[in-house]
């Protein structure tokens, strides 16, 4: 375990069935636009190309991303079949997946370029 992570305790959640897991539509997309949400320290609005469509996703990554423009061109996993939700008046049409490091999000990326819309399984 890395220094500073000795107290890490995973959050245990209820077990789900494989069928429930299969309901999740997680796909890889490329960020085509990124900007901070006005009046928010945490929120960043992303436009993500998922291959067959482009989605707007609002993510709470503003405190760990110095410049949102650095995300443009990067691939990220998106939970695409999450019910849309408005955050500060902006509709989020999915959720990016990130690891949690002591309450701070760490973005996940494929280790090799894959086609936009590639399914995570």
Residue 11's pLDDT is what?
76
Query: Which DSSP string corresponds to 52-78?
Result: S-EEEEEES-TTT-S-GGGGTT-EEEE
Q: From 115, 112, 56, 111, select the one nearest 86 (Cα to Cα).
A: 56
pLDDT in tens, 37-84: 999 999 999 999 999 999 999 999 999 999 999 999 999 999 999 999
* Rounded Cα–Cα distance for residues 70 and 64 (Å): 12
Q: pTM for the complete prediction?
A: 0.87
| Pairing between β-strand 90-92 and β-strand 85-87 as defined by DSSP bridges | antiparallel
Q: C-alpha 104: how far from its chain's center? A: 13
Which helix or strand (DSSP H or E) is residue 21 part of? Answer: helix 18-22
Please say if the pLDDT value at position 5 is more than 90: no
Residue 96's pLDDT is what?
97
Residue 1's pLDDT is what?
44
Count of Cβ atoms closer than 10 Å to residue 112 Cβ: 6
Domain spanning 24-107, CATH architecture: Beta Barrel (2.40)
Average pLDDT over residues 98-110: 93
* 88 Cβ contact list (under 8 Å, min separation 6): 37, 39, 40, 43, 58
Locate the domains of the chain by residue range. Answer: 24-107
């Amino acid at each position: 375990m890395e220094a500073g992570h000795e107290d890490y305790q995973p959050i245990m959640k209820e077990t789900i069935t494989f069928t429930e897991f299969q309901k999740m539509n997680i796909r890889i997309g490329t960020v085509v636009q990124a900007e901070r949400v006005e009046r928010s320290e945490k929120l960043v609005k992303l436009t993500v190309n998922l291959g067959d469509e482009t989605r707007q996703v609002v993510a709470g990554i503003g405190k760990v991303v110095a410049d949102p423009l650095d995300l443009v061109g990067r691939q990220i996993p998106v939970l695409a079949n999450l019910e849309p939700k408005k955050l500060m008046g902006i509709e989020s049409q999915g959720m990016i997946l990130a690891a949690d490091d002591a309450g701070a999000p760490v973005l996940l990326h494929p280790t090799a370029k894959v086609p936009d819309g590639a399914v995570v399984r």
